[in-house]
Amino acid sequence: MKIAKNKNYTVKVIRTEKETEVNIAINNDKFSLYRYRPINKHTINQFIKDEIYATCPVAFNDPYDAAVRFSERQIKKHIKSSLVKNNKFLKRLLKQNNLHCSQINELVNCIYERDLAPDIQFGNNVYAFACFSTDVNQEIMWAHYAGLATGFVLEYDYSTLRRIGIEHQESIFDIVSELDVIKGYSFNKDIIHDPLLPVIYQNDKYNVTDLCNNYIDAVLEKIDADGGYNPIVFPLEQSLKNYNEKETIHFIQNAYYRKKLPWYYENEWRLIGYNYNPIIGRANDNYVKLGVAKPKAVYLGEKISEYDKGAIIEIARKKELDVYIMKTVIIGNTLKLKPKKVT
């Protein structure tokens, strides 16, 4: 297991029979994180407005990034056991699905496929993440995330980004309360106080079998009581009703802050936000505005065009930001990128 390099935090690793728990303590909040950007109308507009946008895991560039492991056999066994315990409800579901009593396994398969779709159960439409790196000199990052070094990088204070994450959560709770999305439900503003954490690089995927079983119990209880449930709002409803900061951070960090070891070069940190798009009628929009944060400096890719270079410098000057351009230097037997200040 590896974690993004940074001398400003300490890591405590606790290994159990089932999982590896990671506790991170920030020692110093005066350090920088970097966001690699290709040049397009969205990234330039966000730079002009100082906007921070996050992406839902379903739209990540790595399709296996937020993947988890689970036992289909154990989950189906749990569904069947839950149904058998409530015979009246079981008979009603069989009738609604035009199934006979001998076809309970078909009903179990239907519930499994319909109500445990990965986009719903694993929160891929509940949370969104803005991704940063501790390293501005990484050639592969410039290639992958900054348009083959034709783009730019924005430098931010850790403390500024953390503040954005907390303010975003407060605003989402206000929206949920105002719209009364969760009918008749009131809750305190339970903030995730560490919304910005480093990624854990580990090949093992997080086991969510028990979480799936708990979720399916909640789904069945909702269907039994109300005859149905909203598959878009329900996950958010459950995450708020069952909120426990320690348990929530543990789940989020292991499910959404865990990538396979080959990605270690990214030295990534992630800023978490809630995906409010389904609540406001944009269920298919996977990008979420977290807030506004002014960067400290801007770094230009070594291969940036003269036109784009001039445009970004002009924007940066209006914001009174320092501007650097990346240059290749020869160090020993290799080449490295180094920032050079633009005068």
Evaluate whether 53 touches 130 at the Cβ level (below 8 Å). yes
pLDDT tens, position by position, 199-254: 888 888 888 888 888 888 888 888 888 877 776 667 667 766 666 767 777 788 78
Q: What is the mean pLDDT of residues 36-51?
A: 97
* Range of the structural domain that residue 214 is part of: 2-341
Q: What is the number of domains present in the chain?
A: 1
Closest among 59, 36, 55 to 337, alpha carbons compared: 36
Encoded tokens for 143: 């290639």
* Most confident by average pLDDT, 18-32, 82-96, 312-326: 312-326
Instruction: Give the C-alpha separation, 208 to 32, whole Å.
Output: 33
Q: Name the more confident of 107 and 341.
A: 341
pLDDT higher than threshold 80 for residue 303: yes
Q: What residues contact residue 80 under an 8 Å CB cut-off, 6+ apart?
A: 104, 105, 108
Instruction: Report the percent of the chain where pLDDT is more than 90.
Output: 41
pLDDT higher than threshold 60 for residue 187: no
Q: What is the mean pLDDT of residues 101-108?
A: 87
pLDDT tens, position by position, 138-173: 999 999 999 999 999 999 999 999 999 999 988 887
